[in-house]
Structure 1
Amino acid sequence: MPLEIVRNDITKMKVDAIVNAANTSLQKGGGVCGAIFRAAGSSELQEACNQIGSCKVGEAVITDGFKLDAKYIIHTPGPIWQGGTNQESSLLQESYSNSLELAKNYQCESIAFPLISTGIYGYPKEEALQIAISTISSFLLQHDMFVYLVVFDKSSFGISKKLFQSIDEYIDENYVDEASITFNRNRQEPYVLEELFEDEPLQNEIFKEAEYSLVNMLDQLDESFSERLLRYIDEKGMTDVETYKRANIDRRLFSKIRNGVDYTPKKKTAVALAIALELCFEETMELLSAAGFTLSRSSKFDVIIEYFIQQANYNIYEINEALFAFDQPLLGA
């Protein structure tokens, strides 16, 4: 997927470029910087940095990757947190945007970032994450590149505590494990039809709804996932580019889906497209059904997706932040 959050050691990422959260003098430091120097070869990398000399906060320079799997290392000094009153947010944004522009100029197809400035520089993780996501996503609307946000462990990841708690409560209220479902099925009381038919207006309304649903299903019985997706794109007045960019999927995959009538995507890709099109819950279920999927209360992934749809929050990057925080697969491909 074009933007993915991964838990890994950034020095082990197999990408065209990794980003070093550098200091302005481009000297070997601690934390991520020190790890990158050691993995690349400290003496060779330091010599290359010395030839450059220095780099201002928010700017970016590039060296070879030396012993890394990455071809290049992009060095960018992030701002030191001083309470948010010293242009820290704009400088942090520049660190990401200048690094991305430099990668583009060197024809990089993939790049891996740490969460810049969140270590010894003390930038609040939640705010730093939002700046990273917004800057990278804005870049990806105009350019094709695979971008990874690499976090070493959950303690270095900063999802909003309020959002995490809200989702956690929603899961607690709505998630039902499969064992409970099986148990409850075995204990279900017979359904009393007489009670339903005592209310004639309700009875007529139910029959009308059932008749409409059946006709609707029969009309769309032979509609493939690709055909149903294209119908929704037309109905929402969106372009193909808007759709796959907002779905966080690669244009090559979207082309396969668009041109392959019988192509069935992965569930996370189908959900991502539903989010991109801002489909309501019923529309989402309809689109997923064309690929043979559904949303279930016995899946935490599904419950989290339902939460965001019910909240009418279709920010795929924020959804992915939440999915990552709850150890679930991310949307896109």
Structure 2
Amino acid sequence: MADRMRIQLFRGDITGHRADAIVNAANSSLLGGGGVDGAIHRKGGEAILEECRELRASHYGGGLPAGQAVATTAGKLPARWVIHTVGPVYSEAEDRSAVLASCFTESLRVADGLGAESVAFPAISTGVYRWPLEDAARIAARALRTAEARVARVDLVLFDEAALAAFRRAFGTT
């Protein structure tokens, strides 16, 4: 349950963060991209890409839908697994906040299935998908605090000071 989950905030590079599972803000192709996705694929090495190709050839021929999550090896990263989740592109015309929340809860569900004790998340959808930081942080806080998960520790690893500040406000940890 979420009440037993310890949530911590860090500023840093998620590819160097030690956790059982690292969440990748992936694109639907699962084959790498920019931002966090590109960094995870570059630093994790070929093993991640190979498993992603296998997933595309079997269950996810059309790509991974937004809000869902799937795991692969972590390759050379300091983790056992990478949990890939596709965040929604921000839209002023359509409320996609439930899809963003699902990225967090589905990633935790996958982590539970793997037996992960710790999971590190980036600020999903706040890069090229343009989700406003304050809103993304609020959605993440609500999703993580209400999630039914056995994971003992969740780390939010934020790339810069602006993201760290927004998530601190949302989690009330100034």
What TM-score do you get using the length of structure 1 for normalisation? 0.47
- Residue number among 84, 91, 100 corresponding to 1:82 in the alignment: 91
Q: Which amino acid counterpart does residue 108 of structure 1 have in structure 2?
A: A
> 1:114, 1:150 within 8 Å by CA — same for their partners in 2?
yes
Cα deviation digits, residues 199-241 of structure 1 (max 9, x gap)? xxxxxxxxxxxxxxxxxxxxxxxxxxxxxxxxxxxxxxxxxxx
- Which whole-Å CA distance do the structure 2 matches of 1:87 and 1:57 have between them? 14
Native 8 Å contact 1:45 1:66 kept in 2: yes
Render the CA deviation track for 1:254-278: whole Å, top value 9, x for unaligned: xxxxxxxxxxxxxxxxxxxxxxxxx
**Retained in 2: the 8 A contact 1:76–1:99?**
yes
Tell which structure's C-alpha radius of gyration is larger: 1
Q: How does 1:145-294 map to 2 (within 5 A)?
A: 145-157=152-164, 159=166
RMSD: 1.8
Alignment partners' CA distance in 2, 1:318 and 1:147: 13
C-alpha distance 81-38 of structure 1, shift in aligned 2 (>3 A): same
Helix, strand or coil at the partner of 2:119? strand
The percent of aligned pairs where both chains have the same amino acid is 39
Q: Distance in 2 between matches of 1:66 and 1:159?
A: 31
More strand by share: 2
How far the C-alpha of 1:144 sits from its partner, in A, is: 4.5
The alignment status of 1:51 with 2:60, answered yes or no, reads no
Written as runs of structure 1 = structure 2, the 5 A alignment for 1:24-173 is: 24-41=28-45, 43-53=46-56, 54-83=63-92, 85-139=93-147, 143-157=150-164, 159=166
Shift of 1:157: 3.6
User: Structure 2 length as normaliser, TM-score?
Assistant: 0.87
More helix by share: 1
Q: Letter of the aligned partner of 1:37 in structure 2? A: H
CA distance in 2, matches of 1:12, 1:27: 20
Count of aligned positions:
163
Structure 2, unpaired ranges of 5+: 57-62
How far residue 158 of structure 1 moved from its aligned partner, in angstroms, is 5.5
Tell me the residue number matched to 1:172: none
Q: Secondary structure at the match of 1:159?
A: helix
Structure 1 residues without counterparts, runs of 5 or longer: 165-316, 324-333
